[in-house]
Structure 1
């Protein structure tokens, strides 16, 4: 899995690269600003995920994110930041990004989120994911992949079984389960399955 990390903080870049490369299956390229990131994207081969720092040189806010998304031509692009002002995660997703990563996330959560987004999913930490009131309780709040995972929950399958059936990694399923519980207002996976049955979602 090829990951491009663009951040102007040397220490963060190096720590994140070291942590990812200690995991199996990661090849990491790092750069310090948006122009270098765009050059790396253009040089190829294609990355599985591009991770950009919100405040690094060349970004100019969301304009840099939109430029990178256009340049990546289908490759997931995500934003990371040390701060999360109100509304930023929503704006990031509205731009078409794969997700938003606060730099305060634990290292293990970062790795799981990166795998999640590289697999084509959208990631925002649960405490920042605020479904609109109009979406609450609506079938449309669940993505197609979340519906597939929910079907597995309703069948009483463990995360490992759902991961095998869908051809995904178990940490990815765990993230989906957390998001499903959040969106359905469920206390746990069993409660989510009960709500799904009541709403005829599975």
Structure 2
């Protein structure tokens, strides 16, 4: 993974085999632009306290969580603590690059295959969202970028940008991240 990211993103990648080693690396090298944190990395238990420590130590730069089988509850708890996203280890290397770029752009990333709690209420007509806007919001909630949404829906990227602006206005939010958070509460992703 490190070699791929180094080549694909022209990035300097450092590796740590435990939370303690990661903390020492941050202290020695200074803050990193992003930390990819394995949920089963030694030092991650009990709970997710390591996320808070790493965020503080890394000057609140984003943390993208990696796991082969994280539950929605654990991921939501990690997002509440301050993580910027989650990617499943079974996803492609290209998806990892997309997730990193998405998180570095200030967004929250959750993969399309990741299903949130199905017991959530649905968006009512009070929002005024059209069926197409709900479809776009679902894609935002799944962590997709405008270009990916446009490709999956067969429309132009400009059209998606207009839908995102309209969604933000109708939900009374400032950006796509806030819209995605509302979408995660109300949509079956």
TM-score strictly above 0.5 = yes
* Greater relative contact order structure (CA < 8 Å, 6+ sep): 2
Which residue does the alignment assign to 2:123?
136
More strand by share: 1
Which residue does the alignment assign to 1:89?
75
Q: What TM-score do the two structures reach when normalised by structure 2?
A: 0.64
Is 1:55 the counterpart of 2:28 in the alignment?
no
Is 1:78 the counterpart of 2:74 in the alignment?
no
In the alignment, the residues of structure 1 paired with residue 9 and residue 164 of structure 2 have an alpha-carbon distance, to the nearest angstrom, of: 37
TM-superposed CA distance for 1:135, in Å, is 6.9
TM-superposed CA distance for 1:195, in Å, is 9.7
In the alignment, the residues of structure 2 paired with residue 64 and residue 25 of structure 1 have an alpha-carbon distance, to the nearest angstrom, of: 28
SS at match of 2:66: strand
Q: Number of aligned pairs?
A: 150
User: Contact 2:38/2:67 (CA < 8 Å) preserved in 1?
Assistant: yes
SS at match of 1:123: coil
Which residue does the alignment assign to 2:28?
43
User: Contact 1:65/1:79 (CA < 8 Å) preserved in 2?
Assistant: no
SS at match of 2:71: coil
TM-superposed CA distance for 1:120, in Å, is 1.9
TM-superposed CA distance for 1:105, in Å, is 0.8
Q: What TM-score do the two structures reach when normalised by structure 1?
A: 0.60
The runs of 5 or more residues in structure 2 that have no matched partner are: 128-135, 137-143, 171-189
SS at match of 1:112: helix
Deviations 1:146-178 (A, max 9, x none): xxxx8xxxxxxxxxxxxxxxxxxxx95435x37
The runs of 5 or more residues in structure 1 that have no matched partner are: 1-15, 140-149, 151-170, 179-186
SS at match of 2:13: strand
Which of residues 107, 110, 120 is equivalent to 2:96? 110
Which of residues 9, 16, 22 is equivalent to 1:31? 16
CA 1:38–1:121 in structure 2 vs 1: closer, same or farther (change >3 Å)?
same
Deviations 1:162-199 (A, max 9, x none): xxxxxxxxx95435x37xxxxxxxx8264966797699
SS at match of 1:30: coil
User: Contact 1:20/1:28 (CA < 8 Å) preserved in 2?
Assistant: yes
